[in-house]
Amino acid sequence: MKLICGRYRFLLERPLVMGVVNLTEDSFSDGGRLLDPERAVAHARELVAAGADIIDLGAESTRPGATAVEAAVEIERLVPVLDALRDCGAALSVDTRKAAVMTVALAAGADMINDVNGFRDEGAIDAVRGSAAGLCVMHMQGTPEIMQEAPSYRDPVGEVAQFLRGRADTLEKAGVARERIVLDPGIGFGKSLVHNLQLLAGLDVIAALGLPVLVGVSRKSMIGTITGRDVDERLAGSIAAMLCAVSRGARIVRVHDVAASRDALVVWQAIAEAGSSTAQIQQEG
Ligand code: HH2
Protein backbone atom coordinates (compact mmCIF):
# COMPACT_ATOMS: atom_id res chain seq x y z
CA MET A 1 0.00 0.00 0.00
CA LYS A 2 1.40 3.39 -1.01
CA LEU A 3 0.40 6.94 -0.11
CA ILE A 4 1.21 9.86 -2.39
CA CYS A 5 1.48 12.86 -0.12
CA GLY A 6 2.76 15.95 -1.95
CA ARG A 7 6.57 15.76 -1.95
CA TYR A 8 6.46 12.42 -0.10
CA ARG A 9 5.74 8.79 -1.04
CA PHE A 10 4.92 6.68 2.02
CA LEU A 11 5.05 2.89 1.71
CA LEU A 12 3.11 2.41 4.95
CA GLU A 13 5.10 -0.64 6.00
CA ARG A 14 4.91 0.71 9.55
CA PRO A 15 2.31 3.02 11.11
CA LEU A 16 3.04 6.70 10.50
CA VAL A 17 2.85 9.31 13.23
CA MET A 18 1.00 12.56 12.51
CA GLY A 19 1.82 15.16 15.16
CA VAL A 20 -0.86 17.75 15.97
CA VAL A 21 -0.07 21.47 16.03
CA ASN A 22 -3.15 23.60 16.68
CA LEU A 23 -2.82 27.27 15.74
CA THR A 24 -6.06 28.03 17.55
CA GLU A 25 -7.41 29.83 20.59
CA ASP A 26 -9.76 27.10 21.69
CA SER A 27 -8.59 23.57 20.77
CA PHE A 28 -9.56 21.19 23.53
CA SER A 29 -6.05 20.16 24.54
CA ASP A 30 -3.60 22.82 23.36
CA GLY A 31 -5.78 25.82 22.47
CA GLY A 32 -4.10 29.22 22.82
CA ARG A 33 -0.62 27.81 23.44
CA LEU A 34 0.60 27.92 19.84
CA LEU A 35 -1.15 30.95 18.32
CA ASP A 36 2.21 32.70 18.14
CA PRO A 37 3.79 31.41 14.88
CA GLU A 38 7.26 31.16 16.40
CA ARG A 39 6.01 28.94 19.21
CA ALA A 40 4.03 26.83 16.75
CA VAL A 41 7.09 26.35 14.53
CA ALA A 42 9.30 25.47 17.51
CA HIS A 43 6.71 22.95 18.74
CA ALA A 44 6.39 21.39 15.28
CA ARG A 45 10.18 21.03 15.07
CA GLU A 46 10.15 19.28 18.46
CA LEU A 47 7.51 16.86 17.17
CA VAL A 48 9.62 16.13 14.07
CA ALA A 49 12.68 15.51 16.25
CA ALA A 50 10.53 13.14 18.34
CA GLY A 51 9.63 11.11 15.26
CA ALA A 52 6.61 12.69 13.57
CA ASP A 53 6.32 11.71 9.89
CA ILE A 54 3.60 14.28 9.23
CA ILE A 55 2.77 17.55 11.00
CA ASP A 56 -0.94 18.42 11.01
CA LEU A 57 -1.51 22.17 11.24
CA GLY A 58 -5.02 23.26 12.19
CA ALA A 59 -6.16 26.87 12.47
CA GLU A 60 -9.81 26.21 13.41
CA SER A 61 -10.85 24.07 16.35
CA THR A 62 -13.45 21.44 15.50
CA ARG A 63 -14.15 20.37 19.05
CA PRO A 64 -17.87 20.19 19.92
CA GLY A 65 -19.29 23.71 20.19
CA ALA A 66 -16.10 25.45 18.94
CA THR A 67 -16.45 28.87 17.29
CA ALA A 68 -16.11 28.91 13.51
CA VAL A 69 -13.10 30.82 12.13
CA GLU A 70 -13.15 32.90 8.91
CA ALA A 71 -11.06 31.56 5.99
CA ALA A 72 -8.92 34.72 6.05
CA VAL A 73 -8.03 34.14 9.70
CA GLU A 74 -7.12 30.49 9.05
CA ILE A 75 -4.91 31.57 6.13
CA GLU A 76 -3.22 34.29 8.18
CA ARG A 77 -2.36 31.76 10.88
CA LEU A 78 -1.27 28.97 8.54
CA VAL A 79 0.88 30.56 5.83
CA PRO A 80 3.80 31.84 7.95
CA VAL A 81 4.00 28.50 9.73
CA LEU A 82 3.90 26.52 6.47
CA ASP A 83 6.64 28.76 5.09
CA ALA A 84 8.85 28.29 8.14
CA LEU A 85 8.35 24.51 8.24
CA ARG A 86 8.84 23.79 4.55
CA ASP A 87 12.13 21.95 5.09
CA CYS A 88 11.48 20.62 8.57
CA GLY A 89 11.84 16.99 7.48
CA ALA A 90 8.20 15.95 7.79
CA ALA A 91 5.23 16.14 5.43
CA LEU A 92 3.00 19.15 6.12
CA SER A 93 -0.73 18.53 6.48
CA VAL A 94 -3.36 21.25 6.82
CA ASP A 95 -6.53 20.48 8.75
CA THR A 96 -9.29 22.56 7.16
CA ARG A 97 -12.85 22.26 5.83
CA LYS A 98 -12.67 25.33 3.58
CA ALA A 99 -11.89 25.30 -0.13
CA ALA A 100 -10.30 28.77 -0.01
CA VAL A 101 -7.92 27.66 2.74
CA MET A 102 -7.08 24.45 0.85
CA THR A 103 -6.10 26.43 -2.27
CA VAL A 104 -3.81 28.77 -0.36
CA ALA A 105 -2.32 25.97 1.75
CA LEU A 106 -1.44 23.94 -1.35
CA ALA A 107 0.16 26.99 -2.96
CA ALA A 108 2.14 27.48 0.26
CA GLY A 109 3.53 23.95 0.04
CA ALA A 110 1.13 21.72 2.02
CA ASP A 111 1.69 18.02 1.26
CA MET A 112 -1.67 16.88 2.59
CA ILE A 113 -5.14 18.27 3.20
CA ASN A 114 -6.95 16.79 6.18
CA ASP A 115 -10.66 17.57 5.92
CA VAL A 116 -12.88 16.60 8.86
CA ASN A 117 -15.82 17.29 6.55
CA GLY A 118 -14.70 14.76 3.91
CA PHE A 119 -14.34 17.33 1.06
CA ARG A 120 -18.07 18.06 1.12
CA ASP A 121 -17.82 21.87 1.29
CA GLU A 122 -18.53 23.67 -1.95
CA GLY A 123 -15.38 23.84 -4.07
CA ALA A 124 -13.34 21.54 -1.81
CA ILE A 125 -12.79 18.83 -4.43
CA ASP A 126 -11.95 21.37 -7.12
CA ALA A 127 -9.43 22.96 -4.77
CA VAL A 128 -7.47 19.72 -4.30
CA ARG A 129 -7.98 17.57 -7.40
CA GLY A 130 -5.18 19.07 -9.51
CA SER A 131 -2.52 18.78 -6.82
CA ALA A 132 -0.44 15.79 -5.70
CA ALA A 133 -1.44 16.24 -2.07
CA GLY A 134 -2.54 13.40 0.14
CA LEU A 135 -6.20 13.78 1.10
CA CYS A 136 -7.60 12.63 4.42
CA VAL A 137 -11.34 12.07 4.15
CA MET A 138 -12.93 12.02 7.60
CA HIS A 139 -16.43 10.98 8.62
CA MET A 140 -18.46 13.42 10.73
CA GLN A 141 -22.17 13.25 11.50
CA GLY A 142 -23.58 16.81 11.67
CA THR A 143 -21.35 19.85 12.17
CA PRO A 144 -18.98 20.64 15.06
CA GLU A 145 -21.55 23.10 16.49
CA ILE A 146 -24.22 20.42 17.03
CA MET A 147 -22.58 17.04 16.35
CA GLN A 148 -22.56 15.78 19.94
CA GLU A 149 -26.21 16.70 20.66
CA ALA A 150 -27.82 13.45 19.52
CA PRO A 151 -25.56 11.26 17.41
CA SER A 152 -27.54 8.35 16.01
CA TYR A 153 -26.66 5.28 13.92
CA ARG A 154 -28.29 1.90 13.26
CA ASP A 155 -24.92 0.35 12.40
CA PRO A 156 -22.01 2.76 13.11
CA VAL A 157 -19.28 0.68 11.45
CA GLY A 158 -21.34 -0.12 8.33
CA GLU A 159 -22.61 3.45 7.93
CA VAL A 160 -19.20 5.07 8.41
CA ALA A 161 -17.57 2.57 6.01
CA GLN A 162 -20.27 3.23 3.42
CA PHE A 163 -19.84 6.99 3.74
CA LEU A 164 -16.04 6.77 3.39
CA ARG A 165 -16.27 4.48 0.38
CA GLY A 166 -18.72 6.91 -1.24
CA ARG A 167 -16.44 9.90 -0.67
CA ALA A 168 -13.39 8.01 -1.99
CA ASP A 169 -15.39 7.06 -5.12
CA THR A 170 -16.45 10.69 -5.60
CA LEU A 171 -12.85 11.87 -5.32
CA GLU A 172 -11.66 9.20 -7.76
CA LYS A 173 -14.38 10.14 -10.25
CA ALA A 174 -13.19 13.75 -9.97
CA GLY A 175 -9.72 12.61 -11.09
CA VAL A 176 -7.94 12.09 -7.77
CA ALA A 177 -5.52 9.14 -7.83
CA ARG A 178 -6.50 6.43 -5.36
CA GLU A 179 -2.96 6.49 -3.90
CA ARG A 180 -3.66 9.99 -2.58
CA ILE A 181 -6.66 9.02 -0.44
CA VAL A 182 -6.71 8.25 3.30
CA LEU A 183 -9.85 7.33 5.25
CA ASP A 184 -10.67 8.30 8.84
CA PRO A 185 -13.71 7.19 10.90
CA GLY A 186 -13.66 10.51 12.79
CA ILE A 187 -13.52 9.42 16.42
CA GLY A 188 -15.55 11.91 18.50
CA PHE A 189 -17.17 13.63 15.53
CA GLY A 190 -20.93 13.10 15.95
CA LYS A 191 -20.45 9.89 17.94
CA SER A 192 -21.34 8.70 21.44
CA LEU A 193 -18.81 6.79 23.54
CA VAL A 194 -20.38 3.49 22.42
CA HIS A 195 -20.20 4.54 18.75
CA ASN A 196 -16.51 5.44 19.15
CA LEU A 197 -15.74 2.11 20.83
CA GLN A 198 -17.64 0.16 18.18
CA LEU A 199 -15.80 2.00 15.42
CA LEU A 200 -12.41 1.25 16.95
CA ALA A 201 -13.37 -2.39 17.54
CA GLY A 202 -14.62 -2.69 13.96
CA LEU A 203 -11.85 -0.70 12.30
CA ASP A 204 -10.82 -3.75 10.25
CA VAL A 205 -14.04 -3.29 8.24
CA ILE A 206 -12.91 0.20 7.24
CA ALA A 207 -9.32 -0.99 6.61
CA ALA A 208 -10.79 -3.68 4.30
CA LEU A 209 -11.87 -0.90 1.92
CA GLY A 210 -8.22 -1.08 0.79
CA LEU A 211 -7.15 2.51 1.49
CA PRO A 212 -4.87 3.67 4.33
CA VAL A 213 -6.79 4.41 7.52
CA LEU A 214 -5.95 7.31 9.83
CA VAL A 215 -7.22 7.39 13.40
CA GLY A 216 -7.20 10.23 15.93
CA VAL A 217 -7.99 9.29 19.53
CA SER A 218 -5.28 11.31 21.27
CA ARG A 219 -6.51 12.94 24.52
CA LYS A 220 -10.12 12.82 23.28
CA SER A 221 -13.09 12.93 25.62
CA MET A 222 -13.77 9.20 25.13
CA ILE A 223 -10.45 8.56 26.91
CA GLY A 224 -11.49 10.99 29.65
CA THR A 225 -14.88 9.33 30.05
CA ILE A 226 -13.42 5.85 30.37
CA THR A 227 -10.51 6.75 32.67
CA GLY A 228 -11.96 9.73 34.55
CA ARG A 229 -8.82 11.71 33.63
CA ASP A 230 -8.45 15.38 32.65
CA VAL A 231 -7.16 16.24 29.20
CA ASP A 232 -3.48 16.46 30.23
CA GLU A 233 -3.60 13.07 31.98
CA ARG A 234 -4.85 10.96 29.10
CA LEU A 235 -1.59 9.73 27.58
CA ALA A 236 -1.77 6.11 28.75
CA GLY A 237 -5.41 5.77 27.71
CA SER A 238 -4.66 7.41 24.35
CA ILE A 239 -1.81 4.99 23.68
CA ALA A 240 -3.98 1.98 24.52
CA ALA A 241 -6.63 3.12 22.04
CA MET A 242 -3.99 3.94 19.41
CA LEU A 243 -2.47 0.44 19.65
CA CYS A 244 -5.92 -1.14 19.32
CA ALA A 245 -6.42 0.96 16.19
CA VAL A 246 -3.11 -0.07 14.58
CA SER A 247 -3.78 -3.71 15.47
CA ARG A 248 -7.01 -3.43 13.49
CA GLY A 249 -5.37 -1.86 10.47
CA ALA A 250 -4.79 1.87 11.08
CA ARG A 251 -1.71 3.04 9.12
CA ILE A 252 -1.52 6.63 10.39
CA VAL A 253 -2.16 7.86 13.92
CA ARG A 254 -2.88 11.49 14.75
CA VAL A 255 -1.36 12.29 18.15
CA HIS A 256 -0.34 15.16 20.40
CA ASP A 257 2.33 13.16 22.31
CA VAL A 258 4.67 12.10 19.51
CA ALA A 259 7.64 10.72 21.49
CA ALA A 260 5.57 8.41 23.69
CA SER A 261 3.34 7.31 20.79
CA ARG A 262 6.34 6.53 18.62
CA ASP A 263 7.92 4.40 21.36
CA ALA A 264 4.66 2.48 21.79
CA LEU A 265 4.43 1.96 18.03
CA VAL A 266 7.99 0.72 17.55
CA VAL A 267 7.47 -1.86 20.30
CA TRP A 268 4.14 -2.89 18.75
CA GLN A 269 5.79 -3.11 15.32
CA ALA A 270 8.67 -5.27 16.61
CA ILE A 271 6.17 -7.74 18.11
CA ALA A 272 3.99 -7.71 14.99
CA GLU A 273 7.05 -8.45 12.79
CA ALA A 274 8.23 -11.29 15.09
CA GLY A 275 4.70 -12.73 14.91
CA SER A 276 4.64 -12.66 11.12
CA SER A 277 8.10 -14.28 10.81
CA THR A 278 7.01 -17.06 13.25
CA ALA A 279 3.92 -17.64 11.13
CA GLN A 280 6.13 -17.88 8.02
CA ILE A 281 8.50 -20.40 9.67
CA GLN A 282 5.52 -22.55 10.72
CA GLN A 283 4.11 -22.38 7.20
CA GLU A 284 7.45 -23.33 5.62
CA GLY A 285 7.99 -26.15 8.19
N1 HH2 B 1 -9.51 15.17 15.38
C2 HH2 B 1 -9.41 16.49 15.65
C3 HH2 B 1 -9.09 17.39 14.63
N4 HH2 B 1 -8.81 16.97 13.38
N5 HH2 B 1 -8.57 15.22 11.84
C6 HH2 B 1 -8.64 13.91 11.55
N7 HH2 B 1 -8.36 13.46 10.32
N8 HH2 B 1 -8.98 12.97 12.50
C9 HH2 B 1 -9.28 13.34 13.78
O10 HH2 B 1 -9.62 12.45 14.60
C11 HH2 B 1 -9.23 14.73 14.13
C12 HH2 B 1 -8.87 15.65 13.10
C13 HH2 B 1 -9.70 16.99 17.03
O14 HH2 B 1 -8.53 17.07 17.80
P15 HH2 B 1 -7.67 18.41 18.04
O16 HH2 B 1 -7.10 18.94 16.78
O17 HH2 B 1 -6.66 18.13 19.08
O18 HH2 B 1 -8.69 19.42 18.66
P19 HH2 B 1 -9.48 20.66 18.08
O20 HH2 B 1 -10.40 20.20 17.00
O21 HH2 B 1 -10.21 21.20 19.29
O22 HH2 B 1 -8.49 21.64 17.54
Task: Name the residue among 247, 278, 283 with its Cα closest to residue 264.
Answer: 247
Q: How many domains does the chain have?
A: 1
CA 19 to chain centre: 9
Whole-number Å distance, alpha carbon 237 to ligand 1 midpoint, is 17
Query: Is 81 a pocket residue for ligand 1 (Cβ < 6 Å)?
Result: no
Helices assigned H by DSSP within the chain? 37-49, 71-85, 99-107, 124-129, 156-173, 193-201, 203-207, 221-227, 235-247, 258-284
CA 142 to chain centre: 18
In a domain, 168, yes or no: yes
Query: Is 187 a pocket residue for ligand 1 (Cβ < 6 Å)?
Result: yes
In a domain, 51, yes or no: yes
Query: Is 137 a pocket residue for ligand 1 (Cβ < 6 Å)?
Result: no
- Closest ligand 1 atom to residue 186 Cα is 10
In a domain, 245, yes or no: yes
Q: For residue 209, list its beta bridge partners.
A: none
CA 238-216-66 angle, to 5 degrees, is 105
Domain carrying residue 29? 14-280
Catalytic residues: 220, 254
In a domain, 285, yes or no: no
10 Å CB burial of residue 31 (0-12, 13-18, 19+) is middle
Task: Name the residue among 47, 32, 130 with its Cα closest to residue 91.
Answer: 47
Residue by residue, pLDDT tens for the chain (285 residues) are 899 999 999 999 999 999 999 998 877 777 778 888 999 999 999 999 999 999 999 999 988 877 789 999 999 999 999 999 999 999 999 999 999 999 999 999 999 999 999 999 999 999 999 999 999 999 999 888 777 888 889 999 999 999 999 999 999 999 999 999 999 999 999 999 999 999 999 999 999 999 999 999 999 999 999 999 999 999 999 999 999 999 999 999 999 999 999 999 999 999 999 987 777 777 776
Q: What CATH number should be reported for the domain holding residue 89?
A: 3.20.20.20
In a domain, 229, yes or no: yes
In a domain, 38, yes or no: yes
In a domain, 226, yes or no: yes
In a domain, 153, yes or no: yes
Residue 3 near residue 180 (C-beta atoms within 8 A):
yes
Residue 62 near residue 145 (C-beta atoms within 8 A):
no
Whole-number Å distance, alpha carbon 138 to ligand 1 midpoint, is 10
Confidence (pLDDT) at 64 = 80
